[in-house]
Structure 1
Amino acid sequence: MRPALHRSLLTRLLTVYLLFVLVVLLGGVGINTLVEQRLRSDVQAADQALAEEIARETSLQLLGAEQALQSLGRLVVESQSETPAALERLFQAWHDARSDVDHVYWLDPFGAVLVAWPAGHVVAGAEFSPPTVVEQALKSSQPAFEVGIVGLAPSRLATPGVIVAQAVRSQGRLRGLIAASFSLAELSLPLVNVVQAQQRQSKHLMITVIDGDGVVVAASERGRLLETALSELPGVALALQGQSLSRAGPGPDGQDWLFSSVPVPKVGWAVVVERPAKEALAVVDQFHLWLLLVALLFTLGGLFFWLLLHLRVIRPLQTLASQHQALPASADAIPTATLLLARQRDEIGDLARSLIRLERDGLRKLSELHTLLETSNAVVRSLDPRAVIEEIMHEVQRLVDVQAVAVLLPDEQGVLRVLQSSGHSERYNRLLSLSPARVSSAAVLALRSGQPVQKLLDGSQPSFAYDDGFRAVLALPIISHHVGSVVLVVHRRESRLFEEHEVQLLSTFANYATLAWEHAVLYERSDERLREVAQENARLYRRATEEKQRLAAIMESMQDGLLLLGTDHQILYANQAACSIAGLPRTALEGQSIAAFYEALQATGAEAAACAQALNQTEPATFLIENGEGRQARTLQLRLFAVQSETGETIGRGLLVRDVTRERELDEFKTTLLAAVGHEVRTPLAAIKGYASTLLQPDVRWSPEEQQQFLQTILQEADRLTQLVRNLLDLSRQEAGLLQLRCTPVDPRALVLAVGERIKSGRATLTVEIPPGLPPVLVDRGRIEIVLHNLISNALLYGARQVQVKAWRSSDEEEALIFAVLDDGPGIAPEELPHIFERFYRASRGRRQHAGGTGLGLAICKAFVEAHGGRIWAQSSPQGTAMCFSLPCASQSALTTLREVVEEEGGSGDGYRQDQAHSAC
């Protein structure tokens, strides 16, 4: 055991030290990396700045060459002389002014040399090479650049340089080209100066200028001119594309070099600055050396420190460790070797004594904590408040030496009373009452101060506990801010105070008991609250269900269609009216897109354009859709509205579909009525006013015959106006059920002949065919005469040449006569027959071309016939129409009923209403 512990402790200490050394080394490596990266980035930034400066100078040089060549071209144009001698003088002056120019040439438009300076090295007419620069200059208004060797056949003169060519034009005419060869040596001179300045500082540097084809244009080493270096210099390709970058790569000597490349503005060239990486990072190499020295120093110092630690500390600690492992469970049997080690007067002896004391205290605390853990687990095992109190009292008696335990609970006035107790008399449990003003009570003081309070009991103050034989009391508050505080009171019969460790043990237990008490009470309260919430939720659910059912019943009973849509335009609900309008079952609508509803409307005849417009509508709006044609047509009013939550957020859409066909018909009826009645009223009024004004003219005298004619016309128009008003009143009374009939027995033949005598048939022939012996009819003669008059007048109005009026007894069992007015005029279309008795109805073809009047004649006929209990109908063919109606015969029972009605009305027989007439007729 001893060697194992010894090696274990040594290994741990050595491991800690090695970890420390490792951290130092890692820190050094990290610092080295940061310094190297920093130095590298600084050097590359400086090189890149130098390259950018050289790029700007190179760009300025090329720009100056371009401007100089353009100026020379303008001088040539301004001189207005292209003789070789004049051009040579001009070129000589320009050449002497610029030291960077090697040669100047004047070319014809085909690239042949006409004039060159310096003179004498070119034969006139020699072909200028390279020809590409000539072609580029001819295509552009700007100078063309190219790096290469000027070759002039047949002399084959080869001169390396930057070749610049400029087309010279005057008044839109090409006069020739000027070409110049700029010296590459002059272009490289700034680079050589920079490199020499660096060399004087013992720094190695190389600078290269590359054109767009990768050819060296300028270099600090002039031997590299016109070499292709695109693959030798890292990053040049990207720099020629306009990107600046720095990177490391192999240099001319095979070592690592740093390359910084930047583009030359506007010309597509690049500048590369390169230097040895070893020279730039020399400081890092020195740091590496220092780092190795520090590592060696740490290693040697660590070995020395470990040796001293082993001799002075490890061996004594090993002895203490071995003795401590052999410590018994009881503090009374500490080995003699441990006691002898504890007698030493150094730090080891102090450590040994502390370990012995720690062992004794630890064993005691461990026993108390074990007991406390068991009691705490027992307390929190239940969630019933009373069961928790009982468990608390039981565990307190197990923890310490006490004979009685009680838990006191303050009431609403703060008076402490026994909640539950163990070991006390019944008198103590029933009569104990401690008011907050009783400061001599340990329980009151503990609850007020929040700290444990203990006292010795004597007979000087009355006490139920003293009467029960207890002589010491300890009160511990169980403070809870959520469920109310209680006081734990323990008694013992011995007259001695509780020891400090007992108070601490019970205080610790009281803290656990507080949690158990809070959990139990809160659980009980939450259980009650949950029951209340459950009941409330059930009530709210029933109420919501009733409201939902009521709302569903209301929406189902609506005459208008209602669709509720989600935010994705899906139909969530459709009532029965909406399903009827669409002609689909509810299962075919709900869960589908709103487009399905509009497709169903289109299938029933709705306009496709209106449905498409309504489908695309997203904002609240109201619009109309016409559905169907002819008499089956109907008008649907669609109102789109937003459905919002209580917070105002839109959670869906609603579509209210209402059939407004009846309202539209009523509006059309009102319009038609006003138009027709207005026209029919204006016509007789105009005639009456005209004839009356004519009669009142003071300067004209009319004969009695003319005056009689005028008055007769006024009377007829007044009768016509009166008849119109009477027709409107009769229609309104008939609809309200207040039409008054004066029924009397009338001979049918006399009735028809009387009407025929008042009608002017004109060219038409009116015949009456009524067999003798027909029974009389019980009718209001004036109303039925109006019916016959309207039917015969209509037949004559629509161009009939022959009109017949017939009557016969009905073949049915009921006693009735059938009257028929037949004509040979234009017929009525079959689809129009069911509607001709409607108010203001006009046929769409056939007789409509002869139409006039208010359109109320047949409607009045129908109203009067039905008021008598009969019916009216029409039959038609292409040439001829029969208008038929039936009237009840004057039977004996009907006459008896009539006499009874007359007697009830006072014997006059006038003024009885429609319902009475039905009973009589």
Structure 2
Amino acid sequence: MVRWFRFRRDLGLQLLALYLLLIIPFLLTLWIFDGLVGQRIRADVQTGDLALTQAIAQGTDLSLGNALGIVAGLTRYPEVIAADKAAMAPLFEAILNTHPNINLVYRLDASGVMVYHNPENPTSTVGTDFSFRGYFQSALETCAPLVSQGRISPTTNQAVATAVQSLCSPAGDFLGLVGANIRLESLSQTLSTIASKHQSETGFQVVILDSAGQIIAFPDPALLLHPAADLLPRDYLDSFTGETHSQILRSPDGEERLYTHTHIETIGWEVVVSRPTAEAFATQIVLQQIALVAAVTFLLIGLFFWVALANRVIRPIELLAPVSEAIGLNQPIQSKERARLLRLAERSDQIGHLIRSVMKMEDSIKARMKEQATLLDTSAAVISTLDVETVLDRILEQMGRLLAVQMYAIMQLNEKEGSFRIRAGRGLSRHFTEQLAIQPSEPDSVTMRALHSGEPIQVSDTEDDPSYTIRRARARAEGYRALLAVPLKTKHAPPTALLVFHPTPHIFTRNEIQLLANFANHATMAIENAILYERSDMQLEEQTRRLEALVQSLHDGLILSNLTGQAIYANRRVGALANLRPHELARMQVGQILARILSRSNESESGRQAVQEIYEQGGERNAEISLPGDGRTIYLRLEAFDVSDSRGDLIGRGLLLHDITADRELDRMRASLISTVSHELRTPLAAIKGYATTLLADDVQWDRESQNEFLKIISDEADRLRDLVNNILDLSRLDAGVIKLERIECDIEETIHRAARRVRAGEAGFQVQVAPGLPALYADPLRLETILRNLFENSLKYGGEDVAIRVEVGEQDASCLFRVCDDGPGIPAAEGKRIFEMFYRVDDRLSRVVGGAGLGLAICQGLVHAHGGRIWVETREKGACLAFSIPFSAAAPGAAQAKGDSG
């Protein structure tokens, strides 16, 4: 009941229901009728055309079948088989007289040469050899009758097709053929007769095509033997199959036509009937026009009822639609339309109520649009810049425009002064802005009350509010009577409040307070963003500096590039390897940088190409190269890798140049240790074993002097083994950092001579020069003796037993400086830094001639470093000079000190 009542009151629903009830059933019935009748008419037309094409196909097939029967019958005559010209003449002439559509009958032999033809006149044929004809080639492959493709006869200049029958012997041998030329014009005349029966239909066409797609028969003889594409659509020709079908297509001249096609199976020809769809479906079109007129008539009747109600419903709604759109887009309404709305608003029905509601909504939307636009402008101001002063000025400007206030300010705690000051303001005097200062200890201040409570606080009249008594003079001087303070909820910024002043007593409404709170939030965001940006920017800069310093400090090289291969970052190690400056690296392709590095390499051309390819190809790849360095070879492992973002998308490529020289040196030292130690152990052991075996021999009696000599050699070789083992143990302790030094006051000169005696250095030219007045040296005497002994052994080993050794001791930088010089072959300048490495020999050829494990100078370096000193090679024009320094220790005599520095 309620719904029915609503339906009766709602004029729109009534109008819609009435209209649908009238129009939908009628249009639906009309549409179904038109569809059913149209389908029926189309089916009838297509059926009629299909019947016509089949009849033409059957007639053509019958006509050509007669011709094929004639030539097939001729092949059964013995005269024809025997190629008897005299006997064939009456037979061929009878056929020409009884069949006017045949204009030539002839007999070809097995090689395609003309034997006889009728008519016999010389102009009946051109040439004698017809083996090139397509039908002759086909006759060679079958004994069945066939019809050739259409062609122009060179004698009659007419379109003809040939009916052919092969002559085959009982054994199956090809004897030749009998052919009859059929005038295609006779078929065209038949089609013209058929077309004349459809004179009432404009554009009716009947065409016969041969197997090659040529026009064999057509009412217009001028188109005979033309390609079918001149008359029929090419798409339609491509769709020909053995089945009969109809299709609506555009003809080559653009006319829409109904095409019906039938295939003549026996000879492979096609029959096509076509007509314009406007003629074929004329009845259907008339019915459609009748249905359209009926529909329009019914719609006009409906329109009559519609007009009767238009003034009450439709026109007011049409007027209301653009007005509502204009209101939604905040566009002005024209004065004429507004006048019509005012008149319609006086109605008491639904239309009048709706228009009154829309006009009220207009006022509300205007206010909201203005607020929204202002807030959007304020938001844009907040994100447009990080300059707080600029943003706050824009926020205050927008706020004043929206709320129509003239005086407002933002108060913020000045942390240096410890008081609240105006940071930004408008409409206030300069004196007021500069002099106003609110102390945090003023609890009755409106600003402080708002900040403490976290809620807006207002004073509606400064003259009547007792809390504003002491500030009343300031309000009178500045010219405001009402005040509102809105706190800004800052987290990182100092406490801040928004102040709004009104020149007259005023009570701020809830809407005004809400809008001011929104502006306060924007001001908060501006201040917080500026502070956070300042902090994050500083942190980001600091992190960037640290990260860049870390990457730049890497001993390994690092190159990052974009997807085009241009280097976007490379650390200083890459610049050192490529001999390029940082600004030069930034403008180069990675391939060019690699080429610069590889130009220093000893790699072959194929090796360099392989290194270039590891970066050009995707994925993770690596290769190794060697470069000449400062006195030694540098080995690098190049590792290429892809750089992807957080989503896994490829954004660039990276190349790490990892210095593996230490690993290679470790491998070399390991191999040298095995080789050298095994060699150094084998030599004394062989001597000990040999002489011990000699002494134990039963068949020889050695005298005392020989026995002592053998025992002396055994003892010396045992000492040699002991020294080698001790050296290895010392190196092990030095590397582990567990060697202990017993620092006592050393007699420098005595220690030097003791070390010289151990290696028999005093047997040749040996000089010691100690500077007078040296401070006492506190060191481990046994370790100091080991250092000197190893240096003396090094001179004797490479300089020979006659080498002259000179030891100089002096003072330098609070350290005791020792120099051990000789007149031997010297040390190459390039080897000065490497001779202190374990198992390193200056010359491999020397290592084969001179014994030793290459550990002496490495032990010297370790012991010197354990004393806190340093050791180096000094350049001399002749000979070698090794120098080391040990600090003069201030420790008490006898104090034990552990050192863990192995250099």
Q: What TM-score, normalized by structure 1, do the two folds share? A: 0.49
Who wins on radius of gyration, i.e. which is larger? 1
